[in-house]
């Protein structure tokens, strides 16, 4: 293994994707036929938002060796992000029915389908994945979101979100999703009860600005002023970061 490729892999593992892409490019300057360097360049480029470069790198890698399932999924999602929706959908569905996908891969496929405006297909992917992992809270959490986007009755999504919370009661993100839905349904007190204790203990782990603003409004409207202030402060700290 050349030094540049080794450095690219180390930087990628550390989350330094710009440097990873740079070192992968250096490695390819030495060995233009290196599948691993092309594949790594594809992943690093997509992580930095360089969609065109990422697609080009994956396509170059595929000319040299079949891509892994993970890389094929990321390439298909990138096609969708570039507006090539039909190609993205076709590739994702081929992978979905291949029987080769792990739970995390199936959830990623569902995400990609939702990204191109196919939440109904995303629901089906989650349903298929759920058959092999009926106790997966994350499947139920994501399926609930896709059900709402596809116009299905809110009570179906609510049932899934309650189930996700029961499976992983310490996961504040599931509670926030449930509270948001309950609030939309006009059930403010239930929404507050769902997240009050979790926010007292885990608010610092919430890194979604929109979620924090919704929580602040929910607590303020419900008279929970101290929690509303804490949510607003956490949102402000994220904006300043």
pLDDT digits (tens, 9 = 90+) for 172-200: 999 999 999 999 999 999 999 999 888 87
Q: What is the pLDDT of residue 241?
A: 58
What's the pTM? 0.88
Q: What is the mean pLDDT of residues 50-79?
A: 97
The structural domains of the chain, ordered by start, are 169-241 (1.25.40)
pLDDT band at 154 (very low <50, low <70, confident <90, very high): very high
Res. 27: pLDDT tops 80: yes
pLDDT at 176: 93
Three-state DSSP class for residue 48: coil
Task: For residue 222, count CB atoms less than 10 angstroms from its CB and return exposed for 0-12, middle for 13-18, buried for 19 or more.
Answer: middle
Instruction: Write down the pLDDT at residue 121.
Output: 96
pLDDT band at 207 (very low <50, low <70, confident <90, very high): confident
pLDDT at 203: 83
Mean of per-residue pLDDT scores for the chain: 93
User: CB of 50 within 8 A of CB of 21?
Assistant: yes
What does the pLDDT read at residue 1? 59
- pLDDT of residue 240 exceeding 90, the answer is no
Q: Which long-range contacts (CB under 8 A, 24 or more apart) does 124-128 make?
A: 125/96, 128/96
Please report, for residues 186, 191, 213, 224, 234, the alpha-carbon distance to residue 221 in angstroms, rounded to integers and kept in the order given: 12, 11, 12, 8, 18
């Amino acid at each position: 293994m050349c030094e540049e490729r080794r450095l690219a892999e180390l930087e990628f593992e550390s989350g330094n994707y710009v440097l990873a892409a740079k070192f992968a490019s250096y490695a390819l300057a030495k060995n233009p036929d290196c599948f691993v360097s092309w594949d790594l360049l594809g992943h690093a480029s997509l992580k930095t938002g360089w969609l065109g470069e990422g697609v080009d790198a994956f396509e170059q890698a595929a000319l040299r060796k079949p891509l892994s399932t993970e890389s094929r999924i990321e390439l298909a999602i990138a096609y969708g992000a570039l507006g090539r929706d039909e190609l993205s959908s076709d590739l994702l569905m081929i992978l979905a029915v291949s029987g080769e996908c792990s739970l995390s891969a199936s959830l990623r496929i569902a995400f990609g389908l939702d990204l191109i405006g196919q939440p109904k297909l995303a629901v089906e992917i989650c349903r298929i994945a759920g058959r092999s992992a009926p106790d997966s809270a994350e499947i139920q959490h994501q399926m609930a979101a896709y059900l709402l986007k596809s116009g299905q009755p809110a009570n179906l999504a609510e049932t899934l979100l309650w189930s996700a919370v029961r499976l992983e009661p310490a996961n504040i993100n599931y509670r926030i999703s449930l509270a948001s839905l309950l609030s939309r349904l006009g059930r403010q007190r239930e929404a507050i009860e769902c997240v009050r204790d979790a926010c007292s203990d885990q608010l610092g782990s919430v890194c979604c600005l929109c979620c924090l603003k919704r929580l602040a409004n929910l607590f303020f409207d419900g008279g929970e002023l101290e929690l509303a202030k804490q949510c607003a402060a956490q949102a402000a700290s994220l904006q300043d970061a």
